Amino acid sequence: MQPQMRHRIGSITKTFVATTVLQLVDEGRLGLDDPIGQWLPDIVPGEPGSQVTVRMLLNHTSGIGNYTNAMIDSYGAINQMQVTTYAPADLVAMGLAMPPTNAPGASFNYSNTNYVLAGLLIEAVTGNGAAAEVQRRILRPLKLTGTSFPGNDPTIRGPHGGAYFAPFGVRDLSEFNMSWAWTAGEMIATTADLNTFFRALLGGDLLSPATLDEMLNAVPMLPEMPEAGGYGLGIYSLPTPCGVFWGHDGAVIGHLTYSMHSRNGARQVSSGINISHYQVGLPGPHPIDIAWHTFLLTAMCPASEMNSRSIEAVPQLPSVTRMPGNDAAVAVP
């Protein structure tokens, strides 16, 4: 692994997609409180379409089920996903077929279906592909040449590490059709590109001040522990011993990424690893987990004392789900 290598960034894709949606809000082409059925009547008919708003998609309070929980129900399913091209509307249909997790707007429940819908919203409003809009609005202006949507191309183009999933031993899963994640987690990037993107975003280069404030208006991810951090519109807050940091994590099969940034952009850390070692139900933190979390916290708070309490300040990935009937957790975007 080298810093310049390209990496599947999983759910950090959501921050790029949310920023694109919010640019449409800034342009007056879309409202945060528009019901999504107004734009996607054939895909989200009935009550979900009339009650769920754009804002609820972006902050995961829609109550729409997470389609990846239904898709990744066995290790065999991962083999199927690796070689299958999925249509976004079919992914949404899987999520809508699941029982709602909450009433629209009532509470935070992470769902990849929300961000597939956000991608479809971008397409409905602009008439262009969601990936093309992200490219035109963000990647090209910021010269993020190491960042891309691969589509159904399974190959990571350019230098990259492998992607190792513990239950498969030494098998490298870096060749993977990521259409199953689309605008919820398909993107590839370098750590330098992630730092450039978040510095521009938090610095006000991509959104108006009012819309950036909306983006950073977070709901508690754990209602019983609001101090543990909140989820805004495609970005979340992380309390640390030296203040609040903003960013996102990304977890796909074999690639894990954190990208966290102080509000003023003075301190940034983007880091990825290429093995899903801790997903196999170990009784305690693996030494690699401890080392990686210590590094992340040191990068954010170099003067903080490294103890067990400090290490626990780096949260478990919000995008990790558990497979039914199995102690193993599987990372999904």
Alpha-carbon distance of 133 to 143, in angstroms, equals: 15
Alpha-carbon distance of 177 to 79, in angstroms, equals: 11
Alpha-carbon distance of 221 to 228, in angstroms, equals: 7
The answer to whether residue 11 is catalytic is: yes
Determine the 3-state secondary structure of 220 from DSSP: strand
| Crossing angle of the two packed helices 112-126 and 13-26, in degrees rounded to 10 | 40
Q: How far is CA 166 from CA 2, 6, 8, 25, 37, in A?
A: 21, 21, 17, 42, 41
Alpha-carbon distance of 117 to 119, in angstroms, equals: 5
Q: What token pair was written down for 303?
A: 């003067």
What lies within 8 Å, CB to CB, of 144 at 6+ separation is 138, 189, 193, 196, 197
What amino acid occupies position 33? D
Q: What token pair was written down for 99?
A: 């029982």
Output DSSP code: residue 239: E
Phi-psi region of 169 (alpha: psi -120 to 50; beta: other; left: phi over 0): left
Q: Which residues are catalytic?
A: 11
